[in-house]
């Protein structure tokens, strides 16, 4: 199904068509239609929104109650061979403590029917930066290390589609940057990477495109800034610090593009319908009034703010 | 530092061949303290040593001037702890258990019941407080864990990854609660690997990296930098050139310009250059070094 | 009258009052332990077994003594004279009940805290490991003492009433004041020691109780078999029998223990005393070491 809606991509690898999933009376996923393609897509939603259920269906771990879902043009529940082209990094610690890192990854390689398990494992281990620790037992790893070895395990069969559930959990700042870089590299290579996470500031760094679910339904799709812009009834909020805030505030109030101006603790809080117009207006206005601007900060552009608007509507 | 609430000197902790903490010296004032580092960096180890749960291989540590190694009970009567993992009996109600936790902290029985109720309301579990802890969701459990940590009115509360497992709303609520703890007269040690959370709530930061102390200073000091960061709309080149022409040092990355001036007012110069080149402004402000920057710089330094 | 208004801050209140001492904290743990053992503040299902056993242990004494006192002077005195069991007899009668009670309660006291990691909460409070363990064991001891002592007291009072000379009976039987509690201690030390050791390591309550009960039954059989065929000292393995022997010795009624392997093999009651002390000490030591590593 093609459509110009941002919920769909032109070259999809995963297609979800009017999929619903219920458990008895509880409807976990309700009539969701969207698609995923090469690149990194973030999958967001509050707990209980159906995000995990959708992810499980995409990974072939569960069957839709209605609708159809295909991964690489295959129904993952019917044709298990598609698993060789998929990688999954689950959130829970489903690893065996007694195995060494290398042993675990090689085991995964053999399970996936990879031709040269040892080489594939070595390659994956290097990709996640675990060469040094690969010889040690996983039981002795820190959380961040376990996370990275799980990623290696999912990469070992060179998957076209990769599902990551909270992949940065426990990683230290340096490892985080490296992993994000790795995911970007995988995306550049044309793989479809779906990242599910609650830590929105991390999702922001990884994915340009997001799919957000609320109460089992598709709440938003597309680029974060575009989603924000789609909330036309919610004006943008901007904080401004200046040496004469009230003088600037009065001047701003005279402009149509400004909806409201508040002064809180001598900081201006401005609401505007058009960030671009405000941004083009400010420097010259400040200059003409001889006002020194020290801070201009949009407050609700972040993915977190967008998410809040999605869930709470305001 | 005369009013340090936490101090350590030459703290070492080894688990077999693994050196969890190495030569840690620090003094930390009252307030909201962030404890940052990856898992395995030594955060939990440090917290356990401060509580007297672990005996260090070497060195001393004190909380409120009392050594946890020699007087653990005295320390623990003034400190609360919110552990990272599960710690609840499944077949007891929240009110019951938190009340018991208060008694264990030294509060009289009648007072404990009352305070348990108040604290559970404070963390947002007013309606659920008579339900069994086994039925609680992750978010509810985190709140209940916070409740048991503060119910006995400690002066310092140690939080180990308090937002772990919470969805964005829950995380927001938890961070707000943590912010308010300071208003209640409590100091907070907020241990986390999510740097953004720390940057939002803490005023002092202790940064650990592989068991070593990387930084121990006010967050403001870490963030301070000489540059002003400007994000422009459209083509950044005219503005960048204009600033350079006036003697500023400009580092440009896409539409982000970091502007440094050795003399003069960077803010005014930026305003004027933007106005003159007709360049729109997305954001502007003193560049704040992020905690992530510090770690990355450290990594670069070592390699 | 002024027209002032005020809003009161319903936020967190600091507690500025006095802190209770360690003894109050220990007592809070004991109370918690007693609630766990008796199933208080839990579902009704949890109360059935403990209270059932307690009633079974206490009711006979109440019923018999009550009946006997009630029928006093109705002319059947001769017939009913020996109806009330002696103190040592009653210990033996309820022996299996206390065994079962302890087998079910010791796991309840130790295992959930460990498995659900509630120990972390204890570890962060101003109490020591010893405080915790003593409180747990003490809670069980309190309950077991209560329901072993109660029927003994009833029998004692019954005897006093029936003798017609209350005061003389009391002054004539003052030794019972130390004998009865000693009996309870002996029973508790033998039965609880092993139960607690098993509960310190097992991860499931049912399993711990099962292992304890199984171990006891099997070791009793093994003790008899080995004592008869290999060496008389193997009788020592039958741990429960030591308590019976000690009860017999305390109350000077060795008959109650005469069919145990220990007596048959002529093992001195002093050995029994040593074994009971050894069990108690070993239990204390093992528990402390095990928990030291966890907390």
Spell out which residues of chain C touch residue B92, defining contact as CB-CB under 8 Å: 41-42
Q: B115 pLDDT exceeds 80?
A: yes
- The whole-number pLDDT of residue B164 equals 87
Q: So where are chain C's domains?
A: 22-294
When pLDDT is cut at 50, 70 and 90, the band that residue A94 belongs to is: low
Distance CA B144, CA B150 (A): 10
* B38 touches A at CB < 8 Å: yes
DSSP C240-283: HHHHHHHHHHHTT-GGGGTTSHHHHTT--HHHHHHHHHHHHHHH
Cα A136 to chain centroid distance, Å, stands at: 32
Contact at 8 Å (CB) between A292 and B268? yes
Claim to verify: residue A258 and residue A151 sit in the same structural domain: no
- Tell me the mean pLDDT in the region B83-101: 94
CATH number of the domain enclosing A44:
3.40.50.300
Of A182, A200, A228, the residue that ends a domain is: A228
**For residue A4, is it within any domain?**
no
Tell me the pLDDT tens digit for each residue of B169-206.
Answer: 889 999 999 998 888 889 999 998 888 899 999 999 99
Burial of B293 (C-beta count, 10 Å sphere; 0-12/13-18/19+): middle
Beta bridge partners of B256: B231, B253
Whole-number percent of chain A with pLDDT over 70: 98
Nearest CB among B53, B115, B185 relative to C123 is that of: B53
**For residue A1, is it within any domain?**
no
Mutation site for A-interface testing, chosen from B35, B193, B288, B299 by largest number of A Cβ within 10 Å = B193
Claim to verify: residue A293 and residue A282 sit in the same structural domain: yes
* B45 touches A at CB < 8 Å: no
Claim to verify: residue A75 and residue A101 sit in the same structural domain: yes
* A296 touches B at CB < 8 Å: yes
Cβ–Cβ of A280/B166 closer than 8 Å? no
Q: Among the residues of B125-189, which ranges form H helices? A: 138-150, 168-183
Contact at 8 Å (CB) between C105 and C198? no
Contact at 8 Å (CB) between A40 and A184? yes
Q: What ipTM is given for this predicted complex?
A: 0.89
**For residue A9, is it within any domain?**
no
Cβ–Cβ of C124/B107 closer than 8 Å? no
Claim to verify: residue A274 and residue A138 sit in the same structural domain: no
Distance CA B84, CA B170 (A): 16
Domains of chain B, earliest start first: 4-222 (3.40.50.300), 225-287 (3.30.70.2470)
- Tell me the mean pLDDT in the region B112-131: 92
Closest CA to B196 of C47, A205, A267: A205
Tell me the pLDDT tens digit for each residue of A171-195.
Answer: 778 888 888 999 999 999 999 999 9
Cβ–Cβ of A171/B194 closer than 8 Å? no
Instruction: Tell which A residues from 237 to 276 touch B, by Cβ distance under 8 Å.
Output: 241, 275-276
**For residue A270, is it within any domain?**
yes
Claim to verify: residue A252 and residue A188 sit in the same structural domain: no
**For residue A7, is it within any domain?**
no
Cβ–Cβ of B281/A296 closer than 8 Å? yes
Classify the phi-psi angles of C41: left when phi > 0, otherwise alpha if psi is within -120 to 50, otherwise beta. Answer: left
Claim to verify: residue A212 and residue A305 sit in the same structural domain: no
* C24 touches B at CB < 8 Å: yes
Touch of C by A (3+ CB pairs closer than 8 Å): no
Residue A203: CA count within 13 A, CB half-sphere: 27
Claim to verify: residue A209 and residue A249 sit in the same structural domain: no
A107 to A126, A130, A159, C37: CA distances (angstroms): 16, 16, 16, 48
pLDDT in tens, chain C (295 residues): 556 666 665 667 777 777 888 899 999 999 999 999 999 988 888 899 999 999 998 888 888 888 877 777 666 666 666 677 778 888 888 888 999 999 999 999 999 999 999 999 999 999 999 999 999 999 999 999 998 888 888 888 887 777 777 777 777 777 888 888 888 898 899 899 999 999 999 999 999 999 999 999 998 888 888 888 888 788 888 888 888 888 888 887 777 777 777 777 777 888 888 888 999 999 999 999 999 887 7
Q: Among the residues of chain C, which ranges form H helices? A: 22-38, 45-70, 77-80, 87-93, 95-115, 119-123, 129-163, 166-172, 176-201, 205-229, 239-250, 261-264, 269-294
Whole-number percent of chain A with pLDDT over 90: 57
Question: Which residue is closest to B195 within chain A, CA to CA?
Answer: A173
Instruction: Tell which A residues from 28 to 67 touch B, by Cβ distance under 8 Å.
Output: 44-47
Claim to verify: residue A218 and residue A265 sit in the same structural domain: no
CATH number of the domain enclosing A235:
3.30.70
Here the tokens at position C170 are: 């009391």
* C115 touches B at CB < 8 Å: no
Count up the domains in chain A and report the number: 2
CA distance B216 to chain A (A): 17
Of A185, A202, A228, the residue that ends a domain is: A228
Q: B100 pLDDT exceeds 90?
A: yes
How many residue pairs bridge chain A and chain B with CB atoms within 8 Å of each other? 118
- The whole-number pLDDT of residue B298 equals 84
pTM here?
0.86
* A170 touches B at CB < 8 Å: yes
Distance CA A231, CA A222 (A): 13
Cβ–Cβ of C15/B77 closer than 8 Å? no
Claim to verify: residue A196 and residue A58 sit in the same structural domain: yes
Cβ–Cβ of A296/B283 closer than 8 Å? yes
Cβ–Cβ of C17/B108 closer than 8 Å? yes
Residue A149 dihedral angles phi and psi, to the nearest 5°? -70, -30
**For residue A104, is it within any domain?**
yes
Burial of B42 (C-beta count, 10 Å sphere; 0-12/13-18/19+): buried
When pLDDT is cut at 50, 70 and 90, the band that residue A1 belongs to is: very low
Claim to verify: residue A281 and residue A199 sit in the same structural domain: no
Question: Which residue is closest to B210 within chain A, CA to CA?
Answer: A172
Contact at 8 Å (CB) between B197 and B179? no
**For residue A200, is it within any domain?**
yes
Spell out which residues of chain A touch residue B286, defining contact as CB-CB under 8 Å: 294-295
Structural domain boundaries, residue A62: 14-228
Which is it for strands A161-165 and A86-89: parallel, antiparallel or unpaired?
A: parallel
Tell me the pLDDT tens digit for each residue of B205-239.
Answer: 999 888 899 899 999 999 888 899 999 999 999 99
Touch of B by C (3+ CB pairs closer than 8 Å): yes
Q: What angle do CA B183, A199, B33 make, to 5 degrees?
A: 30
- The whole-number pLDDT of residue C264 equals 72
**For residue A295, is it within any domain?**
yes
When pLDDT is cut at 50, 70 and 90, the band that residue B256 belongs to is: very high
CA distance A138 to chain B (A): 14
Claim to verify: residue A150 and residue A286 sit in the same structural domain: no
Non-local (6+) Cβ contacts of B27 within 8 A are B1, B4, B6, B7, B216
Claim to verify: residue A222 and residue A244 sit in the same structural domain: no
- Tell me the mean pLDDT in the region A201-225: 91
Of A210, A228, A246, the residue that ends a domain is: A228
Cβ–Cβ of A297/B41 closer than 8 Å? no
């Amino acid at each position: 199904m093609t459509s110009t809606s941002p919920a769909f991509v032109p070259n999809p690898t995963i297609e979800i068509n009017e999929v619903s999933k219920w458990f008895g009376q509880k409807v976990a996923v309700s009539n969701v239609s969207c698609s995923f393609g090469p690149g990194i897509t973030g999958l967001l939603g509050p707990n209980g929104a159906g995000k995990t259920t959708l992810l499980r269906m995409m990974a072939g771990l569960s069957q839709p109650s209605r609708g159809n879902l295909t991964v690489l043009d295959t129904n993952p529940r019917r044709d298990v061979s598609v698993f060789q082209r998929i990688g999954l990094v689950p959130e829970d610690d489903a690893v065996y403590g007694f195995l060494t890192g290398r042993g675990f990854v090689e085991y995964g390689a053999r399970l996936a029917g990879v031709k040269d398990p040892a080489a594939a494992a070595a390659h994956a281990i290097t990709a996640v930066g675990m060469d040094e620790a690969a010889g040690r037992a996983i039981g002795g790893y820190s959380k961040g290390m376990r996370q990275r070895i799980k990623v290696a395990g999912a990469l070992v069969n060179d998957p076209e589609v990769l599902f990551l559930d909270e992949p940065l959990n426990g990683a230290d700042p340096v490892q985080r940057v490296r992993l994000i870089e790795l995911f970007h590299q995988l995306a550049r290579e044309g793989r479809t990477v779906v990242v599910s996470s609650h830590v929105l500031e991390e999702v922001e760094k990884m994915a340009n495109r997001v799919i957000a679910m609320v109460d089992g339904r598709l709440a938003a799709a597309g680029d974060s800034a575009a989603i924000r812009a789609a909330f036309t009834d919610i004006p943008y909020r901007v904080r401004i610090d200046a040496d004469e805030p009230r003088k600037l505030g009065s001047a701003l109030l005279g402009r149509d593009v400004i909806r409201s101006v508040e002064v809180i603790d001598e900081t201006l809080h401005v609401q505007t319908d058009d960030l671009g117009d405000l941004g083009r207006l400010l420097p010259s206005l400040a200059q003409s009034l001889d006002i020194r601007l020290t801070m201009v900060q949009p407050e609700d552009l972040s993915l977190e703010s967008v998410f809040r608007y999605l869930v709470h509507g305001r | 530092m005369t009013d340090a609430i936490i101090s350590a000197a030459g703290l070492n902790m080894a688990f077999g061949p693994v050196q969890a903490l190495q030569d840690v010296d620090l003094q930390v004032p009252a307030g909201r303290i962030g404890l940052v580092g990856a898992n395995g960096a030594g955060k939990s180890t440090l917290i356990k040593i401060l509580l007297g749960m672990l005996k260090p291989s070497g060195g001393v540590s004190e909380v409120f001037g009392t050594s946890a190694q020699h007087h653990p009970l005295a320390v623990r009567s003034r400190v609360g702890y919110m552990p990272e993992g599960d710690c609840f009996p499944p077949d007891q109600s929240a009110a019951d258990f938190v009340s018991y936790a208060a008694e264990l902290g030294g509060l009289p029985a009648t007072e404990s019941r009352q305070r348990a109720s108040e604290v559970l309301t404070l963390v947002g579990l007013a309606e659920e407080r008579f339900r069994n802890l086994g039925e609680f969701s992750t978010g509810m459990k985190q709140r209940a864990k916070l409740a048991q940590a503060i119910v006995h009115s400690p002066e310092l509360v140690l939080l180990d990854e308090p937002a772990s497992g919470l969805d964005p709303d829950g995380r927001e609520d938890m961070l707000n609660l943590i912010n308010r703890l300071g208003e209640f007269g409590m100091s907070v040690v907020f241990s986390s690997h999510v740097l953004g959370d720390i940057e939002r709530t803490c005023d002092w930061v202790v940064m650990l990296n592989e068991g070593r102390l990387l930084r121990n200073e006010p967050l403001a000091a870490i963030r301070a930098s000489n540059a002003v960061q400007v994000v422009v709309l459209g083509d950044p080149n005219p503005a960048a050139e204009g600033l350079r022409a006036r003697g500023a040092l400009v580092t440009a990355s896409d539409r982000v310009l970091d502007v440094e001036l050795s003399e003069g007012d960077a803010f005014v110069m930026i305003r004027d250059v933007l106005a003159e080149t007709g360049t729109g402004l997305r954001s502007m402000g003193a560049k704040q070094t992020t905690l992530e920057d510090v770690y990355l710089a450290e990594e670069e330094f070592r390699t | 009258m002024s027209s002032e208004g005020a809003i009161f801050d319903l936020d967190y209140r600091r507690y500025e009052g006095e802190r209770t001492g360690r003894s109050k904290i220990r007592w809070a743990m004991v109370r918690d332990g007693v609630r766990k053992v008796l199933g208080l503040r839990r579902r009704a299902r949890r109360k059935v077994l403990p209270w059932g056993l307690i009633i079974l242990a206490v009711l006979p004494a109440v019923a018999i003594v009550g009946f006997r006192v009630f029928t006093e002077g109705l002319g059947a005195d001769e017939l009913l004279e020996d109806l009330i069991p002696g103190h040592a007899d009653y210990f033996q009668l309820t022996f299996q009940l206390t065994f079962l009670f302890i087998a079910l309660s010791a796991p309840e006291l130790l295992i959930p805290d460990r498995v659900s990691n509630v120990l972390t909460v204890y570890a962060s409070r101003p109490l020591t490991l010893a405080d915790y363990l003593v409180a747990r064991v003490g809670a069980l001891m309190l309950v077991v003492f209560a329901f072993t002592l109660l029927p003994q007291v009833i029998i004692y009072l019954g005897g006093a009433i029936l003798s017609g000379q209350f005061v003389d009976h009391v002054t004539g039987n003052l030794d019972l004041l130390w004998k009865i509690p000693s009996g309870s201690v002996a029973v508790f030390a033998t039965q609880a020691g092993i139960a607690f050791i098993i509960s310190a390591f097992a991860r499931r309550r049912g399993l711990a109780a099962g292992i304890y009960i199984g171990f006891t039954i099997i070791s009793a059989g093994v003790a008899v078999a080995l004592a008869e065929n290999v060496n008389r000292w193997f009788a020592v393995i039958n741990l429960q029998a030591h308590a019976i022997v000690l009860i017999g010795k305390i109350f000077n009624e060795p008959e109650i223990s005469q069919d145990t392997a220990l007596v048959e093999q002529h093992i001195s009651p002093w050995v029994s005393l040593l074994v009971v002390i050894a069990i108690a000490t070993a239990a204390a030591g093992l528990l402390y070491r095990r928990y030291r590593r966890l907390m």
